[in-house]
Structure 1
Amino acid sequence: MKLVSWNVNGLRACVKKGFLDYFHEMDADIFCVQETKLQEGQIDLDLEGYHQYWNYALKKGYSGTAVFTKEKPLSVSYGVGDENEQDEGRILTLEFDDLYLINVYTPNSQRDLARLGFRLDWEDRMRDYLIDLNKKKPLVLCGDLNVAHADIDLKNAKSNRGNSGFTDEERGKMTDLLDSGFVDSFRYFYPDTTDQYTWWSYMRNVREKNIGWRIDYFIVSKQLEDRLKDSQIHSHVMGSDHCPVILELHD
Protein backbone atom coordinates (compact mmCIF):
# COMPACT_ATOMS: atom_id res chain seq x y z
CA MET A 1 0.00 0.00 0.00
CA LYS A 2 1.49 3.31 -1.09
CA LEU A 3 0.46 6.69 0.34
CA VAL A 4 1.65 10.14 -0.72
CA SER A 5 1.26 13.46 1.06
CA TRP A 6 2.15 16.85 -0.41
CA ASN A 7 1.58 20.45 0.60
CA VAL A 8 1.10 21.83 -2.90
CA ASN A 9 0.86 25.51 -1.82
CA GLY A 10 -1.92 26.17 -4.31
CA LEU A 11 -3.12 23.17 -6.28
CA ARG A 12 -4.00 25.13 -9.43
CA ALA A 13 -0.47 26.55 -9.56
CA CYS A 14 1.05 23.13 -8.83
CA VAL A 15 -0.93 21.52 -11.65
CA LYS A 16 0.76 23.96 -14.02
CA LYS A 17 4.14 22.81 -12.66
CA GLY A 18 3.77 19.07 -13.20
CA PHE A 19 1.52 17.86 -10.40
CA LEU A 20 -0.43 15.47 -12.61
CA ASP A 21 2.72 13.94 -14.08
CA TYR A 22 3.96 13.14 -10.59
CA PHE A 23 0.53 11.96 -9.46
CA HIS A 24 0.27 9.43 -12.28
CA GLU A 25 3.90 8.38 -11.92
CA MET A 26 3.40 7.52 -8.25
CA ASP A 27 0.18 5.53 -8.83
CA ALA A 28 -0.49 5.77 -5.09
CA ASP A 29 -3.35 4.02 -3.36
CA ILE A 30 -4.01 7.21 -1.41
CA PHE A 31 -2.76 10.69 -2.35
CA CYS A 32 -3.24 13.53 0.15
CA VAL A 33 -2.70 17.23 -0.48
CA GLN A 34 -2.70 20.26 1.78
CA GLU A 35 -3.00 23.98 1.15
CA THR A 36 -5.15 23.50 -1.94
CA LYS A 37 -6.09 27.21 -1.85
CA LEU A 38 -9.29 26.90 -3.84
CA GLN A 39 -13.05 26.63 -3.58
CA GLU A 40 -15.46 24.10 -5.01
CA GLY A 41 -15.73 24.43 -8.78
CA GLN A 42 -12.39 26.17 -9.26
CA ILE A 43 -10.62 23.05 -10.50
CA ASP A 44 -11.68 19.90 -12.35
CA LEU A 45 -9.20 17.08 -11.88
CA ASP A 46 -9.73 14.03 -14.06
CA LEU A 47 -8.23 11.35 -11.83
CA GLU A 48 -9.54 8.13 -13.29
CA GLY A 49 -9.84 5.36 -10.75
CA TYR A 50 -9.83 7.68 -7.73
CA HIS A 51 -12.52 8.91 -5.38
CA GLN A 52 -12.03 12.58 -4.49
CA TYR A 53 -12.75 14.19 -1.13
CA TRP A 54 -12.26 17.91 -0.49
CA ASN A 55 -12.35 20.13 2.59
CA TYR A 56 -12.42 23.73 1.39
CA ALA A 57 -11.61 26.78 3.50
CA LEU A 58 -14.29 29.46 3.52
CA LYS A 59 -11.64 32.11 2.94
CA LYS A 60 -10.71 32.26 -0.74
CA GLY A 61 -7.21 31.24 -1.70
CA TYR A 62 -6.46 29.87 1.77
CA SER A 63 -5.70 26.53 3.40
CA GLY A 64 -7.78 23.51 2.33
CA THR A 65 -7.14 19.77 2.10
CA ALA A 66 -8.04 16.94 -0.27
CA VAL A 67 -7.66 13.16 -0.47
CA PHE A 68 -7.68 11.06 -3.64
CA THR A 69 -8.14 7.34 -2.95
CA LYS A 70 -8.55 4.26 -5.09
CA GLU A 71 -10.56 2.48 -2.42
CA LYS A 72 -13.82 4.07 -1.41
CA PRO A 73 -13.78 4.77 2.34
CA LEU A 74 -16.43 3.54 4.74
CA SER A 75 -16.93 7.09 5.96
CA VAL A 76 -15.50 10.60 5.61
CA SER A 77 -15.50 13.38 8.21
CA TYR A 78 -14.41 16.99 8.12
CA GLY A 79 -12.69 18.67 11.06
CA VAL A 80 -13.12 17.44 14.62
CA GLY A 81 -16.20 19.45 15.51
CA ASP A 82 -14.60 22.84 15.97
CA GLU A 83 -16.19 25.55 13.85
CA ASN A 84 -12.92 27.36 13.12
CA GLU A 85 -11.16 24.19 11.98
CA GLN A 86 -13.98 23.48 9.56
CA ASP A 87 -13.91 27.06 8.32
CA GLU A 88 -10.23 26.62 7.43
CA GLY A 89 -10.61 23.17 5.82
CA ARG A 90 -7.68 21.71 7.69
CA ILE A 91 -8.71 18.13 8.51
CA LEU A 92 -10.06 15.21 6.50
CA THR A 93 -10.59 11.79 8.10
CA LEU A 94 -11.29 8.72 5.97
CA GLU A 95 -12.25 5.42 7.57
CA PHE A 96 -11.26 2.18 5.86
CA ASP A 97 -11.71 -1.45 6.90
CA ASP A 98 -8.34 -1.72 8.63
CA LEU A 99 -7.34 1.87 9.48
CA TYR A 100 -8.17 5.55 9.63
CA LEU A 101 -6.42 8.04 7.34
CA ILE A 102 -6.22 11.59 8.69
CA ASN A 103 -4.96 14.31 6.35
CA VAL A 104 -4.02 17.48 8.23
CA TYR A 105 -2.77 20.98 7.53
CA THR A 106 -1.74 22.22 10.97
CA PRO A 107 -2.12 25.96 11.59
CA ASN A 108 1.06 28.02 11.60
CA SER A 109 1.91 29.94 14.77
CA GLN A 110 2.81 32.92 12.57
CA ARG A 111 6.13 34.73 12.51
CA ASP A 112 5.40 36.83 15.61
CA LEU A 113 3.85 33.79 17.36
CA ALA A 114 0.51 35.62 17.46
CA ARG A 115 -1.29 32.33 16.89
CA LEU A 116 0.82 30.16 19.20
CA GLY A 117 -1.86 29.91 21.86
CA PHE A 118 -4.46 28.82 19.29
CA ARG A 119 -1.95 26.37 17.85
CA LEU A 120 -1.16 24.72 21.20
CA ASP A 121 -4.86 24.34 22.02
CA TRP A 122 -5.41 22.90 18.56
CA GLU A 123 -2.60 20.37 19.18
CA ASP A 124 -4.19 19.19 22.43
CA ARG A 125 -7.60 18.69 20.83
CA MET A 126 -6.03 16.99 17.82
CA ARG A 127 -4.11 14.57 20.03
CA ASP A 128 -7.28 13.71 21.98
CA TYR A 129 -9.07 13.11 18.67
CA LEU A 130 -6.31 10.80 17.42
CA ILE A 131 -6.16 8.88 20.69
CA ASP A 132 -9.92 8.28 20.53
CA LEU A 133 -9.71 7.07 16.93
CA ASN A 134 -6.77 4.83 17.78
CA LYS A 135 -8.89 3.00 20.34
CA LYS A 136 -11.18 1.87 17.49
CA LYS A 137 -8.59 0.95 14.86
CA PRO A 138 -5.02 1.98 13.96
CA LEU A 139 -4.45 5.16 12.03
CA VAL A 140 -2.17 6.96 9.61
CA LEU A 141 -1.78 10.71 10.15
CA CYS A 142 -0.19 12.69 7.34
CA GLY A 143 0.30 16.24 6.24
CA ASP A 144 2.06 19.50 6.88
CA LEU A 145 2.31 19.53 10.67
CA ASN A 146 4.21 22.82 10.71
CA VAL A 147 6.85 21.75 13.24
CA ALA A 148 10.42 20.50 13.05
CA HIS A 149 10.50 18.04 15.93
CA ALA A 150 14.21 17.76 16.66
CA ASP A 151 17.42 19.63 15.87
CA ILE A 152 18.12 17.09 13.13
CA ASP A 153 14.91 18.15 11.37
CA LEU A 154 16.11 21.55 10.19
CA LYS A 155 19.33 23.00 8.87
CA ASN A 156 19.90 25.81 11.36
CA ALA A 157 18.51 24.59 14.64
CA LYS A 158 20.43 26.95 16.91
CA SER A 159 19.45 30.18 15.14
CA ASN A 160 15.81 29.08 14.73
CA ARG A 161 15.21 28.09 18.36
CA GLY A 162 12.01 29.79 19.49
CA ASN A 163 10.85 30.68 15.99
CA SER A 164 7.48 29.61 14.62
CA GLY A 165 7.61 25.87 13.90
CA PHE A 166 10.56 25.36 16.24
CA THR A 167 9.38 26.65 19.59
CA ASP A 168 9.86 24.43 22.62
CA GLU A 169 6.09 24.39 23.03
CA GLU A 170 5.35 23.13 19.51
CA ARG A 171 8.11 20.56 19.65
CA GLY A 172 6.83 19.40 23.02
CA LYS A 173 3.36 18.83 21.57
CA MET A 174 4.89 16.59 18.91
CA THR A 175 6.71 14.65 21.62
CA ASP A 176 3.44 14.30 23.53
CA LEU A 177 1.74 12.93 20.43
CA LEU A 178 4.44 10.36 19.73
CA ASP A 179 4.45 9.31 23.40
CA SER A 180 0.71 8.64 23.11
CA GLY A 181 1.26 5.55 20.97
CA PHE A 182 2.39 6.84 17.59
CA VAL A 183 5.50 6.57 15.41
CA ASP A 184 7.23 9.08 13.11
CA SER A 185 7.63 6.73 10.15
CA PHE A 186 10.60 8.51 8.58
CA ARG A 187 12.62 8.46 11.81
CA TYR A 188 11.60 4.83 12.34
CA PHE A 189 13.63 3.92 9.27
CA TYR A 190 16.21 6.73 9.32
CA PRO A 191 16.72 7.81 12.95
CA ASP A 192 20.04 9.58 12.39
CA THR A 193 19.90 10.68 8.76
CA THR A 194 20.64 14.38 8.36
CA ASP A 195 19.85 16.95 5.65
CA GLN A 196 16.44 15.45 4.87
CA TYR A 197 13.90 18.24 4.55
CA THR A 198 10.41 18.77 3.12
CA TRP A 199 10.10 22.59 3.08
CA TRP A 200 12.38 25.39 1.93
CA SER A 201 11.92 29.14 1.98
CA TYR A 202 11.45 30.85 -1.38
CA MET A 203 14.45 33.05 -0.57
CA ARG A 204 17.15 32.91 -3.23
CA ASN A 205 19.25 29.74 -3.38
CA VAL A 206 17.80 28.32 -0.16
CA ARG A 207 16.50 25.15 -1.79
CA GLU A 208 19.61 24.76 -3.97
CA LYS A 209 21.70 24.87 -0.79
CA ASN A 210 19.23 22.54 0.97
CA ILE A 211 18.63 24.94 3.85
CA GLY A 212 15.33 23.38 4.83
CA TRP A 213 12.96 22.04 7.46
CA ARG A 214 11.28 18.63 7.81
CA ILE A 215 7.73 19.60 8.71
CA ASP A 216 5.71 17.12 6.59
CA TYR A 217 5.09 13.72 8.13
CA PHE A 218 3.55 10.30 8.04
CA ILE A 219 2.82 9.32 11.63
CA VAL A 220 1.30 5.92 12.33
CA SER A 221 -0.13 3.97 15.24
CA LYS A 222 2.38 1.70 16.94
CA GLN A 223 0.08 -1.17 16.02
CA LEU A 224 1.13 -0.60 12.41
CA GLU A 225 4.88 -0.91 13.04
CA ASP A 226 4.98 -4.45 11.65
CA ARG A 227 3.38 -3.16 8.42
CA LEU A 228 5.91 -0.38 7.84
CA LYS A 229 7.81 -0.97 4.60
CA ASP A 230 9.46 2.39 3.84
CA SER A 231 9.12 6.12 4.32
CA GLN A 232 10.63 8.51 1.80
CA ILE A 233 11.12 12.21 1.10
CA HIS A 234 11.00 13.15 -2.59
CA SER A 235 13.02 16.34 -2.34
CA HIS A 236 13.75 16.24 -6.08
CA VAL A 237 10.10 16.96 -6.90
CA MET A 238 9.42 20.63 -7.60
CA GLY A 239 6.15 22.53 -7.99
CA SER A 240 5.78 23.81 -4.43
CA ASP A 241 7.91 25.11 -1.58
CA HIS A 242 7.22 21.70 0.00
CA CYS A 243 8.06 18.32 -1.50
CA PRO A 244 6.05 15.09 -1.33
CA VAL A 245 6.54 12.50 1.40
CA ILE A 246 5.75 8.84 0.90
CA LEU A 247 4.72 5.94 3.13
CA GLU A 248 4.67 2.32 2.06
CA LEU A 249 2.86 -0.29 4.13
CA HIS A 250 2.83 -4.04 3.73
CA ASP A 251 -0.66 -5.24 2.86
Structure 2
Amino acid sequence: MKRGKNAEEAAADGDNDNGTAPAKKGKKAKEPEAPIMYEDPPDKLTSKDGRSANMKITSWNVDGLRAWVKKNGLDWVREEAPDVLCLQETKCAEKALPADITSMAEYPHKYWSGSEDKEGYSGVAMLCKTEPVKVTYGIGKEEHDKEGRVITAEFPSFFLVTAYVPNAGRGLVRLDYRKTWDVDFRAYLSGLDKQKPLVLCGDLNVAHEEIDLKNPKGNKKNAGFTPDEREGFSQLLAAGFTDSFRELYPEQAYAYTFWTYMMNARAKNVGWRLDYFLLSSALVPGLCDSKIRNKAMGSDHCPITLHITVFPLRLRHSPWLLIPD
Protein backbone atom coordinates (compact mmCIF):
# COMPACT_ATOMS: atom_id res chain seq x y z
CA MET A 1 0.00 0.00 0.00
CA LYS A 2 1.33 3.46 -0.81
CA ARG A 3 2.12 5.59 2.15
CA GLY A 4 -0.18 8.50 1.40
CA LYS A 5 -0.84 10.70 4.40
CA ASN A 6 -4.61 10.29 4.63
CA ALA A 7 -5.21 6.55 4.82
CA GLU A 8 -2.20 5.70 6.87
CA GLU A 9 -2.69 8.43 9.43
CA ALA A 10 -6.29 7.33 9.73
CA ALA A 11 -5.04 3.79 10.14
CA ALA A 12 -2.74 4.97 12.90
CA ASP A 13 -5.28 6.92 14.92
CA GLY A 14 -8.62 6.57 13.09
CA ASP A 15 -11.39 6.69 15.66
CA ASN A 16 -8.83 7.02 18.46
CA ASP A 17 -9.45 3.59 19.90
CA ASN A 18 -5.80 2.65 20.12
CA GLY A 19 -4.71 4.70 23.10
CA THR A 20 -3.08 7.50 21.12
CA ALA A 21 -5.74 10.16 21.64
CA PRO A 22 -4.63 13.10 23.85
CA ALA A 23 -6.34 13.51 27.19
CA LYS A 24 -8.98 16.23 27.39
CA LYS A 25 -8.14 19.19 29.59
CA GLY A 26 -9.08 18.61 33.19
CA LYS A 27 -9.47 14.87 32.78
CA LYS A 28 -7.02 12.20 33.77
CA ALA A 29 -5.47 10.50 30.78
CA LYS A 30 -6.54 6.91 30.31
CA GLU A 31 -3.90 4.27 30.44
CA PRO A 32 -3.33 3.00 26.89
CA GLU A 33 -4.68 -0.46 26.34
CA ALA A 34 -2.20 -3.19 25.57
CA PRO A 35 -2.34 -4.02 21.85
CA ILE A 36 -3.95 -7.27 20.82
CA MET A 37 -1.45 -9.12 18.68
CA TYR A 38 -2.17 -11.87 16.18
CA GLU A 39 -0.30 -15.11 16.77
CA ASP A 40 0.17 -17.15 13.62
CA PRO A 41 -0.76 -20.71 14.63
CA PRO A 42 1.34 -23.75 13.69
CA ASP A 43 1.21 -24.63 10.00
CA LYS A 44 -1.34 -27.19 8.89
CA LEU A 45 0.05 -29.38 6.13
CA THR A 46 -3.01 -31.54 5.48
CA SER A 47 -6.23 -30.56 3.72
CA LYS A 48 -9.67 -31.28 5.14
CA ASP A 49 -9.94 -34.39 2.99
CA GLY A 50 -6.63 -35.74 4.28
CA ARG A 51 -4.27 -34.86 1.43
CA SER A 52 -0.75 -33.61 2.20
CA ALA A 53 0.44 -30.23 0.97
CA ASN A 54 2.79 -30.43 -2.00
CA MET A 55 3.09 -26.75 -2.92
CA LYS A 56 4.25 -23.84 -0.77
CA ILE A 57 3.93 -20.29 -2.08
CA THR A 58 5.03 -17.10 -0.34
CA SER A 59 4.00 -13.57 -1.26
CA TRP A 60 5.54 -10.36 0.10
CA ASN A 61 5.19 -6.67 -0.69
CA VAL A 62 8.81 -5.69 -0.05
CA ASP A 63 8.39 -1.90 -0.39
CA GLY A 64 11.58 -1.60 -2.41
CA LEU A 65 13.58 -4.68 -3.33
CA ARG A 66 17.03 -3.19 -2.79
CA ALA A 67 16.18 -1.86 0.68
CA TRP A 68 14.52 -5.17 1.57
CA VAL A 69 17.63 -7.12 0.61
CA LYS A 70 19.73 -4.83 2.81
CA LYS A 71 17.29 -5.54 5.66
CA ASN A 72 18.08 -9.26 5.36
CA GLY A 73 14.80 -10.22 3.72
CA LEU A 74 16.52 -13.04 1.85
CA ASP A 75 17.58 -14.66 5.11
CA TRP A 76 13.91 -15.05 6.03
CA VAL A 77 13.09 -16.40 2.57
CA ARG A 78 15.78 -19.07 2.83
CA GLU A 79 14.39 -20.15 6.18
CA GLU A 80 10.81 -20.22 4.87
CA ALA A 81 11.94 -22.00 1.69
CA PRO A 82 8.79 -21.71 -0.45
CA ASP A 83 8.55 -23.43 -3.81
CA VAL A 84 7.61 -20.08 -5.35
CA LEU A 85 8.34 -16.60 -4.02
CA CYS A 86 6.20 -13.72 -5.28
CA LEU A 87 7.22 -10.12 -4.59
CA GLN A 88 5.38 -6.86 -5.06
CA GLU A 89 6.37 -3.18 -5.05
CA THR A 90 9.91 -4.06 -6.03
CA LYS A 91 10.61 -0.49 -7.27
CA CYS A 92 13.61 -1.78 -9.16
CA ALA A 93 14.43 -2.05 -12.86
CA GLU A 94 15.79 -5.42 -13.93
CA LYS A 95 19.16 -3.87 -14.80
CA ALA A 96 19.50 -2.62 -11.21
CA LEU A 97 18.61 -5.84 -9.39
CA PRO A 98 20.88 -6.70 -6.44
CA ALA A 99 23.31 -9.55 -7.11
CA ASP A 100 22.20 -11.17 -3.84
CA ILE A 101 18.86 -12.01 -5.40
CA THR A 102 19.81 -12.60 -9.03
CA SER A 103 22.37 -15.17 -7.92
CA MET A 104 20.02 -17.21 -5.71
CA ALA A 105 20.66 -20.80 -6.79
CA GLU A 106 17.57 -21.99 -4.89
CA TYR A 107 15.39 -20.20 -7.46
CA PRO A 108 16.90 -20.75 -10.90
CA HIS A 109 13.78 -19.45 -12.66
CA LYS A 110 13.27 -15.73 -12.00
CA TYR A 111 10.80 -13.35 -13.64
CA TRP A 112 10.59 -9.56 -13.29
CA SER A 113 8.19 -6.85 -14.39
CA GLY A 114 8.54 -3.12 -13.73
CA SER A 115 7.05 0.22 -14.63
CA GLU A 116 7.81 1.39 -18.16
CA ASP A 117 7.43 5.09 -17.36
CA LYS A 118 8.48 5.61 -13.75
CA GLU A 119 11.78 4.56 -12.21
CA GLY A 120 11.45 3.19 -8.70
CA TYR A 121 7.70 2.63 -8.96
CA SER A 122 5.50 -0.45 -8.68
CA GLY A 123 6.99 -3.71 -9.98
CA VAL A 124 6.47 -7.42 -9.31
CA ALA A 125 8.65 -10.52 -9.37
CA MET A 126 8.29 -14.29 -9.24
CA LEU A 127 11.05 -16.71 -8.28
CA CYS A 128 10.45 -20.42 -8.87
CA LYS A 129 12.29 -23.59 -7.95
CA THR A 130 10.62 -25.43 -10.84
CA GLU A 131 10.30 -23.92 -14.28
CA PRO A 132 6.73 -22.98 -15.22
CA VAL A 133 5.21 -24.16 -18.48
CA LYS A 134 4.79 -20.54 -19.56
CA VAL A 135 5.12 -17.05 -18.08
CA THR A 136 3.28 -13.92 -19.22
CA TYR A 137 3.29 -10.31 -18.10
CA GLY A 138 0.35 -7.98 -17.58
CA ILE A 139 -3.30 -8.61 -18.35
CA GLY A 140 -3.39 -7.62 -22.01
CA LYS A 141 -4.36 -3.96 -21.56
CA GLU A 142 -1.69 -1.32 -22.14
CA GLU A 143 -3.16 1.22 -19.72
CA HIS A 144 -2.58 -1.27 -16.90
CA ASP A 145 0.40 -3.23 -18.14
CA LYS A 146 2.79 -0.28 -18.47
CA GLU A 147 2.96 -0.09 -14.66
CA GLY A 148 4.38 -3.61 -14.23
CA ARG A 149 1.78 -5.02 -11.87
CA VAL A 150 1.08 -8.63 -12.89
CA ILE A 151 3.04 -11.80 -13.65
CA THR A 152 1.24 -15.05 -14.52
CA ALA A 153 2.99 -18.42 -14.43
CA GLU A 154 1.32 -21.47 -15.90
CA PHE A 155 2.09 -24.74 -14.15
CA PRO A 156 0.82 -28.16 -15.26
CA SER A 157 -2.32 -28.08 -13.10
CA PHE A 158 -2.90 -24.42 -12.27
CA PHE A 159 -2.02 -20.79 -12.94
CA LEU A 160 -0.23 -18.66 -10.38
CA VAL A 161 -0.86 -14.93 -10.67
CA THR A 162 0.97 -12.38 -8.57
CA ALA A 163 -0.33 -8.82 -8.56
CA TYR A 164 0.33 -5.41 -7.08
CA VAL A 165 -3.09 -3.80 -7.40
CA PRO A 166 -3.18 -0.01 -7.92
CA ASN A 167 -3.87 2.15 -4.89
CA ALA A 168 -6.72 4.65 -5.11
CA GLY A 169 -4.28 7.30 -3.89
CA ARG A 170 -4.28 10.27 -1.59
CA GLY A 171 -7.60 12.03 -1.86
CA LEU A 172 -8.86 9.07 -3.95
CA VAL A 173 -7.41 10.67 -7.07
CA ARG A 174 -7.08 7.25 -8.76
CA LEU A 175 -10.31 5.72 -7.52
CA ASP A 176 -11.94 5.83 -10.96
CA TYR A 177 -8.87 4.16 -12.45
CA ARG A 178 -8.90 1.59 -9.68
CA LYS A 179 -12.53 0.74 -10.46
CA THR A 180 -11.61 0.23 -14.12
CA TRP A 181 -8.69 -1.96 -13.07
CA ASP A 182 -10.95 -4.09 -10.88
CA VAL A 183 -13.31 -4.80 -13.78
CA ASP A 184 -10.52 -5.59 -16.23
CA PHE A 185 -8.51 -7.67 -13.78
CA ARG A 186 -11.56 -9.71 -12.82
CA ALA A 187 -12.23 -10.43 -16.49
CA TYR A 188 -8.60 -11.50 -16.96
CA LEU A 189 -8.73 -13.89 -13.99
CA SER A 190 -12.07 -15.32 -15.07
CA GLY A 191 -10.61 -16.01 -18.50
CA LEU A 192 -7.73 -17.94 -16.96
CA ASP A 193 -10.07 -19.82 -14.67
CA LYS A 194 -11.91 -21.21 -17.68
CA GLN A 195 -8.66 -22.89 -18.77
CA LYS A 196 -7.22 -24.04 -15.42
CA PRO A 197 -7.81 -23.16 -11.79
CA LEU A 198 -5.64 -20.40 -10.40
CA VAL A 199 -3.99 -19.02 -7.30
CA LEU A 200 -3.90 -15.23 -7.06
CA CYS A 201 -1.51 -13.71 -4.56
CA GLY A 202 -0.22 -10.28 -3.75
CA ASP A 203 -0.98 -6.87 -2.36
CA LEU A 204 -4.56 -6.35 -3.49
CA ASN A 205 -4.73 -2.96 -1.76
CA VAL A 206 -8.11 -3.44 -0.11
CA ALA A 207 -9.28 -4.45 3.35
CA HIS A 208 -12.45 -6.32 2.43
CA GLU A 209 -14.42 -6.28 5.67
CA GLU A 210 -14.30 -4.32 8.92
CA ILE A 211 -12.54 -7.25 10.57
CA ASP A 212 -9.65 -6.73 8.14
CA LEU A 213 -8.38 -3.45 9.61
CA LYS A 214 -7.99 -1.94 13.04
CA ASN A 215 -9.97 1.26 12.51
CA PRO A 216 -12.78 0.72 9.99
CA LYS A 217 -14.82 3.67 11.23
CA GLY A 218 -12.08 6.18 10.51
CA ASN A 219 -11.16 4.82 7.08
CA LYS A 220 -14.40 4.51 5.14
CA LYS A 221 -13.43 7.39 2.87
CA ASN A 222 -9.78 6.43 2.58
CA ALA A 223 -7.93 4.44 -0.06
CA GLY A 224 -8.17 0.74 0.60
CA PHE A 225 -11.49 0.78 2.40
CA THR A 226 -13.90 2.73 0.23
CA PRO A 227 -17.24 1.11 -0.64
CA ASP A 228 -16.17 0.95 -4.29
CA GLU A 229 -12.95 -0.94 -3.59
CA ARG A 230 -14.63 -3.31 -1.17
CA GLU A 231 -17.40 -3.99 -3.67
CA GLY A 232 -14.80 -4.70 -6.35
CA PHE A 233 -13.32 -7.36 -4.07
CA SER A 234 -16.77 -8.78 -3.32
CA GLN A 235 -17.41 -9.11 -7.05
CA LEU A 236 -14.12 -10.96 -7.45
CA LEU A 237 -15.21 -13.46 -4.80
CA ALA A 238 -18.60 -13.76 -6.48
CA ALA A 239 -16.83 -14.61 -9.76
CA GLY A 240 -15.74 -17.89 -8.19
CA PHE A 241 -12.66 -17.11 -6.09
CA THR A 242 -12.12 -17.81 -2.39
CA ASP A 243 -10.19 -15.79 0.17
CA SER A 244 -8.08 -18.62 1.59
CA PHE A 245 -7.41 -16.98 4.97
CA ARG A 246 -11.09 -16.30 5.64
CA GLU A 247 -12.00 -19.76 4.41
CA LEU A 248 -9.92 -21.20 7.24
CA TYR A 249 -10.19 -18.43 9.83
CA PRO A 250 -13.55 -16.69 9.26
CA GLU A 251 -13.73 -14.95 12.64
CA GLN A 252 -10.04 -14.19 13.23
CA ALA A 253 -9.57 -10.52 14.10
CA TYR A 254 -6.35 -8.50 14.48
CA ALA A 255 -4.72 -10.44 11.62
CA TYR A 256 -3.05 -7.77 9.49
CA THR A 257 -0.36 -7.69 6.80
CA PHE A 258 0.38 -3.93 6.53
CA TRP A 259 1.24 -1.29 9.12
CA THR A 260 2.23 2.30 8.39
CA TYR A 261 5.70 3.30 9.54
CA MET A 262 4.12 6.23 11.41
CA MET A 263 2.76 6.32 14.95
CA ASN A 264 4.50 3.10 15.98
CA ALA A 265 1.59 1.32 14.28
CA ARG A 266 3.18 -2.11 13.95
CA ALA A 267 4.08 -2.37 17.63
CA LYS A 268 0.48 -1.42 18.44
CA ASN A 269 -0.87 -3.77 15.74
CA VAL A 270 -2.82 -0.95 14.13
CA GLY A 271 -2.90 -2.45 10.69
CA TRP A 272 -4.71 -3.61 7.57
CA ARG A 273 -5.02 -6.99 5.86
CA LEU A 274 -4.15 -6.07 2.28
CA ASP A 275 -2.28 -9.19 1.13
CA TYR A 276 -4.16 -12.28 0.02
CA PHE A 277 -4.16 -15.71 -1.51
CA LEU A 278 -7.34 -16.20 -3.54
CA LEU A 279 -8.15 -19.62 -4.98
CA SER A 280 -10.36 -20.91 -7.76
CA SER A 281 -13.16 -23.05 -6.34
CA ALA A 282 -11.57 -26.24 -7.71
CA LEU A 283 -8.45 -25.66 -5.59
CA VAL A 284 -10.25 -25.04 -2.29
CA PRO A 285 -10.49 -28.76 -1.36
CA GLY A 286 -6.69 -28.90 -1.49
CA LEU A 287 -6.24 -25.88 0.79
CA CYS A 288 -4.12 -26.83 3.80
CA ASP A 289 -3.22 -23.48 5.37
CA SER A 290 -2.98 -19.76 4.70
CA LYS A 291 -0.42 -18.05 6.91
CA ILE A 292 0.32 -14.47 7.98
CA ARG A 293 3.98 -14.28 8.95
CA ASN A 294 3.68 -11.08 10.96
CA LYS A 295 6.95 -11.58 12.83
CA ALA A 296 8.98 -11.21 9.62
CA MET A 297 10.50 -7.75 9.29
CA GLY A 298 11.99 -5.85 6.37
CA SER A 299 8.98 -4.01 4.93
CA ASP A 300 5.83 -2.21 6.01
CA HIS A 301 4.05 -5.40 4.87
CA CYS A 302 4.71 -8.87 6.21
CA PRO A 303 4.87 -12.01 4.05
CA ILE A 304 2.05 -14.49 3.67
CA THR A 305 2.40 -18.17 2.83
CA LEU A 306 0.04 -20.71 1.27
CA HIS A 307 0.20 -24.48 1.79
CA ILE A 308 -1.86 -26.33 -0.81
CA THR A 309 -2.25 -29.70 -2.49
CA VAL A 310 -2.28 -29.65 -6.28
CA PHE A 311 -2.50 -32.58 -8.67
CA PRO A 312 -1.77 -33.02 -12.37
CA LEU A 313 -4.62 -31.87 -14.56
CA ARG A 314 -6.50 -33.91 -17.17
CA LEU A 315 -9.20 -32.31 -19.25
CA ARG A 316 -12.59 -33.95 -19.65
CA HIS A 317 -14.54 -31.79 -22.06
CA SER A 318 -16.19 -28.91 -20.12
CA PRO A 319 -15.85 -28.04 -17.36
CA TRP A 320 -12.37 -29.38 -16.58
CA LEU A 321 -11.82 -31.51 -13.51
CA LEU A 322 -8.86 -31.90 -11.24
CA ILE A 323 -8.11 -35.61 -11.14
CA PRO A 324 -5.13 -37.21 -9.38
CA ASP A 325 -3.07 -39.39 -11.71
Please indicate the TM-score interval, normalised by the length of the shorter structure: over 0.9
Matches within 5 A, 1:160-179: 160-179=219-238
In structure 2, what is the equivalent of residue 56 of structure 1?
114
Separation in structure 1 between the aligned mates of residue 94 and residue 185 of structure 2, nearest angstrom: 26
In structure 1, what is the equivalent of residue 63 of structure 2?
9
Matched, 1:98 2:157: yes
Separation in structure 2 between the aligned mates of residue 141 and residue 157 of structure 1, nearest angstrom: 25
Give CA-to-partner distance per residue, 1:174-218, whole Å, 9 cap, x none.
000001111000001100000000000110311100000000000
State the secondary structure of the residue aligned to 1:121. Answer: helix
Matches within 5 A, 1:118-197: 118-197=177-256
Structure 1 or 2: more strand by fraction: 1
| RMSD of aligned Cα (Å) | 0.8
Separation in structure 1 between the aligned mates of residue 215 and residue 86 of structure 2, nearest angstrom: 28
- The count of residues paired between Structure 1 and Structure 2 equals 251
What are structure 1's unaligned runs of at least 5 residues? none
Give CA-to-partner distance per residue, 1:117-156, whole Å, 9 cap, x none.
0000000000011111001000000000000000000000
Separation in structure 2 between the aligned mates of residue 86 and residue 222 of structure 1, nearest angstrom: 27
Shift of 1:86: 2.2
Matched, 1:246 2:305: yes
What are structure 2's unaligned runs of at least 5 residues? 1-54, 311-325
Of 173-182 and 49-58, the range deviating more from structure 2: 49-58
Give CA-to-partner distance per residue, 1:209-241, whole Å, 9 cap, x none.
000000000001010011100001011111000
Matches within 5 A, 1:211-222: 211-222=270-281
Shift of 1:94: 0.5
Separation in structure 2 between the aligned mates of residue 38 and residue 162 of structure 1, nearest angstrom: 31
Tell whether the 8 Å contact from 1:52 to 1:68 is kept in structure 2 after alignment.
yes
State the secondary structure of the residue aligned to 2:160. Answer: strand
Greater C-alpha radius of gyration: 2
Matched, 1:42 2:99: no
User: Could you tell me which of 122, 125, 130 is aligned with 1:66?
Assistant: 125
In structure 1, what is the equivalent of residue 147 of structure 2?
88
Give CA-to-partner distance per residue, 1:48-106, whole Å, 9 cap, x none.
13110000112111100000011111111111122232221100011010000000000
Counterpart code for 1:22:
W
Separation in structure 2 between the aligned mates of residue 113 and residue 88 of structure 1, nearest angstrom: 18
Counterpart code for 2:114:
Y
In structure 1, what is the equivalent of residue 81 of structure 2?
27
State the secondary structure of the residue aligned to 2:265. Answer: coil
State the secondary structure of the residue aligned to 2:223. Answer: coil
Counterpart code for 1:52:
K
Q: Which has the higher contact order (CA 8 A, sep 6+)?
A: 2
Counterpart code for 1:99:
F
Q: Moved runs in structure 1, 4+ residues, more than 4 A?
A: none
